[in-house]
Amino acid sequence: MKLKTWMKSALAVGALMSLTTGALADGMLRYATVGEPPSLDQQVVTSDLATTIAHHMFEGLYTFNGSNAPVPLLASGETVSEDGKTIVIGLRKGVQFHNGQAMTSADVLASLQRWGEFGSRGSLIFDHVDSVEATGDYEITLKLKEPFGPWKNLMAFINGGPAIYPASVVTGATKEPIAPENYIGTGPYKFNAWEANRYVELVSFDGYASPDGKADGYGGARVADFDTLRFIPVPDVGTRVAGVRAGDYDYAESIPGDLFAELDADAGVKTMLNGGPIFGLVFLNSSDGPLKENFALRRAIQTAIDKTPALQVAIGPEGLWRANGSFAPQGSVWATTSGTENYSKGDAEAAKSMAAAAGYDGQPIKFMVSTNYPFHYDSAIVYTKQLAQAGFNIDLQVYDWATLIEKRAQPDQWDLFFTHHGFVPDPILISVMNDNYPGWWATPEKKALKDRFTASSDPAERQAIWGEIQALIYEQVPTMKTGDVYTYNIASPKLNGLGEQTLIWPSFWNVSK
């Protein structure tokens, strides 16, 4: 081949490659995550990282609109008997799974049965279910033992919630996460690939049947404008930020507060506040170890900690955090001051005396934390110093997030662990209310209050009972709230349709560039 001809060919190939690369970039959303999810099986996993990915491909019967009210998704509607004990849920027709199979009540029934027995949050409702049956090809009937006020909120919460699978996948499934090859849902995107430590990839589903109505929160119309969603683990926050600025990523999550002012003023990125605050939680082991049933020792630990310095160090700008002891944010109908006088005492001497009276003799207390979430680690460092000043022997154990999730399921591996919780519209959805969540708080006092809370459908009565439950949390200390954190992510300004803030998890249907 002559040199001139070769150069023309090379230039043509280069131009084609450039056009192709640009087209691929426009058709792919690249999301920089803090790490690798443990699994995407929404029924048994409560990781927010997993839900951020998975709720694009898995759907439930209900979801939340922009006001955090539950609305139908795969359901077409429901009727509830006068006594509140029989719920008949109609199903949308024409919905397809990613394998091309039509969704019917047989699939919904099998999914609800597995979730009810093994799901992370399934027992919260199924402890009150007498029976669930397919009473038609597109109809499910739940019969309750007694009225259960928050049933629809539980159905709508996809994190650890009732994602609908084909019966062929979910029948016989247990608490072990479903394998990636069986990630078959009904959402606008479907599973394509998981390359360990490289990316999780979803692709648009041509057979998607969107719900009707104007998009509102997670409700209404859903359109997959991207060909591909690629979620890339990028543990280093500096790399995530630089990647969005350089155009290597379109979106990056969990950005530290000390960068907020700089990034908010940068025209090259868009800051995305989360609509509801997350809140840190330090869980205490109610199943094993020195803290088991020793409420006095737990109260000593609680008394030693001053939450404000940790928030200042871990979050930074005061506009991004609140030292709020209520488990619901200010302005919420669930906000209460019950028990909050014990939220953040920071009294080392009192804690030392309380610990001695509780029989503490200096044995190590294993405290697990992950560096994948910097505010977890930074807060834990402050708490460890405060607890040491009060005489506690803290064994701080640092893991990646996936390892921490694995180890927290083993009661003999830890005494404390740091996590965080997203905003939820009903306190029954807070993980500490789940007897099976790691920590395993299931005292008779909790059960009595929880039974009253879930049986009532009267909003004022439920709010009053929640105040009693929060007071019990501060008394028995199954977990310690660290404060409200208004987290934010960053996005490329080229993305259209994001809105001004997220609802709970970022969503990328109805988004384009």
DSSP letters for 293-332:
T-HHHHHHHHHH--HHHHHHHHT-SGGGEE---SSS-TTS
What digits encode the pLDDT tens for the residues 42-101?
999 999 999 999 999 999 999 988 877 889 999 999 999 988 899 999 999 999 999 999
In a domain, 162, yes or no: yes
**Contact criterion met (CB below 8 Å) for 456 and 462:** yes
Helix or strand (DSSP H, E) at 14: helix 3-27
In a domain, 507, yes or no: no
CATH for 401: 3.10.105.10
Q: How far apart are CA 240 and CA 263, in angstroms?
A: 13
Q: Determine the 3-state secondary structure of 369 from DSSP.
A: strand
Residues 305 and 453 in one domain: yes
What pLDDT is attached to residue 293?
92
What pLDDT is attached to residue 460?
84
Angle (CA) 502 505 510, round 5°: 65
The single-letter DSSP state of residue 465 is H
**Contact criterion met (CB below 8 Å) for 98 and 109:** no
Q: Determine the 3-state secondary structure of 383 from DSSP.
A: helix
- As a whole number, the mean pLDDT across the chain is 92
Does residue 12 carry a pLDDT above 60?
no
Residues 362 and 469 in one domain: yes
Higher pLDDT, 82 or 163: 163
What pLDDT is attached to residue 227?
98
What digits encode the pLDDT tens for the residues 449-460?
998 998 887 778
In a domain, 72, yes or no: yes
The single-letter DSSP state of residue 358 is T
CATH for 166: 3.90.76.10
Residues 94 and 233 in one domain: no
What pLDDT is attached to residue 273?
85
What digits encode the pLDDT tens for the residues 327-356?
988 777 789 999 999 999 999 999 999 999
Residues 105 and 229 in one domain: no
In a domain, 188, yes or no: yes
Residues 272 and 285 in one domain: no
CATH for 245: 3.40.190.10
Residues 192 and 213 in one domain: yes
Does residue 10 carry a pLDDT above 70?
no
Final residue belonging to a domain, choices 170, 195, 211: 170
In a domain, 17, yes or no: no
What digits encode the pLDDT tens for the residues 355-410?
999 999 999 999 999 999 999 999 999 999 999 999 999 999 999 999 999 999 99
* Cα 71 off chain centre by: 19
Residues 254 and 114 in one domain: no
Number of domains in the chain: 3
Q: What percent of the chain has pLDDT over 90?
A: 81
pLDDT average, residue stretch 140-152: 93
What digits encode the pLDDT tens for the residues 210-227?
999 999 999 999 999 999
Residues 290 and 259 in one domain: no
What pLDDT is attached to residue 2?
35
Angle (CA) 89 95 100, round 5°: 140
The single-letter DSSP state of residue 498 is -
pLDDT average, residue stretch 246-266: 93
What digits encode the pLDDT tens for the residues 188-198?
999 999 999 99
Burial 455-477 (b: 16+ CB within 10 A, else e): bbeeeeebbebbbbbbbbbbebb
Q: How far apart are CA 124 and CA 148, in angstroms?
A: 10
Q: How far apart are CA 350 and CA 488, in angstroms?
A: 37
As given in the structure block, the two tokens for residue 358 are 């509780």
Does residue 114 carry a pLDDT above 60?
yes
pLDDT average, residue stretch 9-17: 35
Burial 7-44 (b: 16+ CB within 10 A, else e): eeeeeeeeeeeeeeeeeeeeebbbbbbbbbbbbbbbbb
Residues 150 and 220 in one domain: no
What pLDDT is attached to residue 424?
83
Q: Which residues are within 8 A (CB) of 7 and not within 5 positions of it... i.e. 6 or more apart?
A: none
pLDDT band at 257 (very low <50, low <70, confident <90, very high): confident
Q: How far apart are CA 192 and CA 56, in angstroms?
A: 12
What digits encode the pLDDT tens for the residues 293-319?
999 999 999 999 999 999 999 998 887
Residues 224 and 303 in one domain: no
Minimum mean pLDDT among 12-16, 204-208, 274-278: which range?
12-16
In a domain, 7, yes or no: no
Residues 384 and 257 in one domain: no
Residues 480 and 497 in one domain: no
Final residue belonging to a domain, choices 170, 195, 215: 170
What pLDDT is attached to residue 486?
85
What pLDDT is attached to residue 79?
95
Does residue 8 carry a pLDDT above 60?
no
Q: Residue 485 to residues 236, 261, 473: CA-CA distances in angstroms? A: 20, 16, 20
Range of the domain at 244: 27-41+177-276+488-502
According to DSSP, the β-strands at 479-485 and 278-284 are antiparallel
